[in-house]
Amino acid sequence: MMKKAVFLDLDNTLLPIDEALFYRLYFGELGRYFAPLGINPKFLIDAILQGTAAMRANTSSKTNLDMFWETFSIHLPQETPFVQSHLKTFYTTRFLEVKKSASLDARSVQLISHFKQKGLRLILATNPLFPALATHQRVAWAGLDVAMFEKITTMENAKRCKPNPDYFIELMKEANVTASEVLMIGNDWIEDTAATRAGIKTIIVLDHAMKEKPTDITCESMTMDHLLLHIDAMLENNQ
């Protein structure tokens, strides 16, 4: 019996990305965009980091988006509506420069195509810390189309973040699947292996693995090449 659904991480799983360069470019472009509009870049970035921390800690019934703006507005209350009104323009213009931090891996397209051919349901389980505009662009950077995925988690549609196992539990509830019917593929030994605490079989792709492997983690790990060679066996429901 095969798995019914595959949850996949994006950054450094399907999309090789230099995360240090990504954030340096991202925050740099934010500052260059908003500074001429009268927003102090330091205060802006501090407010964004506080909002991001609130999303990571979210255990409420509010979306990550709501948690972000509630926290952001505490730090920049007068500028919040102005920043909100300009972010769409930022993400469709200056954010394009951040693509320099990413590279294309044709094996990601090959992997997704294989899953699609097998009729598997695909959910992009990228940590929902960015709006859909930014997340969908990063999907395109990987050579993929958002239409390939049944769901892509973003700050607008999620209420939890990795490594909270409730993030994965909510995804399963929405997809109406059980843990034994799902395979999770990621690269982060902390964030993505939280899926194992939700009962999901998890594979860590080692090509760009993040963080050190904790001693209490027992999930499988392999290179992308090995995964492509043995993916059908990985999909077997052996839990």
pLDDT given for residue 115 in this prediction: 97
Strand positions, DSSP E, 96-200: 121-124, 151-152, 182-186
Q: Does domain 5-17+103-234 have CATH number 3.40.190.10?
A: no
Instruction: Mark 69-107 as b/e (b = at least 16 C-beta within 10 Å).
Output: bebbbebbeebbeebeeebeebbeebbeebeebbeebeb
And the tokens for 48?
A: 């964004």
> What is the phi/psi pair of residue 186, to 5°?
-150, -170
**What per-residue confidence (pLDDT) applies to 1?**
61
Confidence of residue 234 (pLDDT cuts 50, 70, 90): confident
88-127: pLDDT as tens digits: 999 999 999 999 999 999 999 999 999 999 999 999 999 9
Count of C-beta atoms within a 10 Å radius of residue 45: 17
Contact 6, 123 (CB under 8 A): yes
- State pLDDT tens for residues 151-194: 999 999 999 999 999 999 999 999 999 999 999 999 999 999 99
Confirm whether pTM is higher than 0.75.
yes
Calculate what percentage of the chain has a pLDDT beyond 90: 92
Indicate the domain borders of the chain.
5-17+103-234, 20-99
Mean pLDDT for the stretch of residues 203-209: 95
pLDDT of residue 12: 97
pLDDT at 218: 82
